[in-house]
Structure 1
């Protein structure tokens, strides 16, 4: 339970879930107000891509880890 493989996989799953949350924001287009001004959705697109890449990278790294 203390292996690096388990930790990398857990982090990968968490990043994957966060990327799905960003994808939901892109699809649902909820209005987000910051200081009374509407917050654009393009940062969610960028966050989706970055989080998805991190998730895939950590998952691949966990497959190379021994133990």
Structure 2
């Protein structure tokens, strides 16, 4: 596995876990006074987790 691919998988996995934790614990997040709804974390969890899994699967199948 190439180093950049491994770093990308790790970063996307970390983002996914943090979004899941926010969703489960109900952390409030506001940006410039605007509250970000919890359902946005659900979408971010699915997208970032899906990208991490796709990268991991691609890196496993592309090795000779």
TM normalised by structure 1 equals: 0.77
Corresponding pairs, count: 64
1:5 and 1:65 in contact (8 A); partners too:
no
Deviation (angstroms), 1:9: 2.0
Q: Quick check: which has more Rg, 1 or 2? A: 1
Deviation (angstroms), 1:39: 2.3
Q: Structure 2: any 5+ residue segments left out of the alignment?
A: none
Given candidates 12, 18, 21, the residue that maps to 2:18 is: 21
The equivalent residue for 2:60 is 63
Q: Which has the higher contact order (CA 8 A, sep 6+)?
A: 1
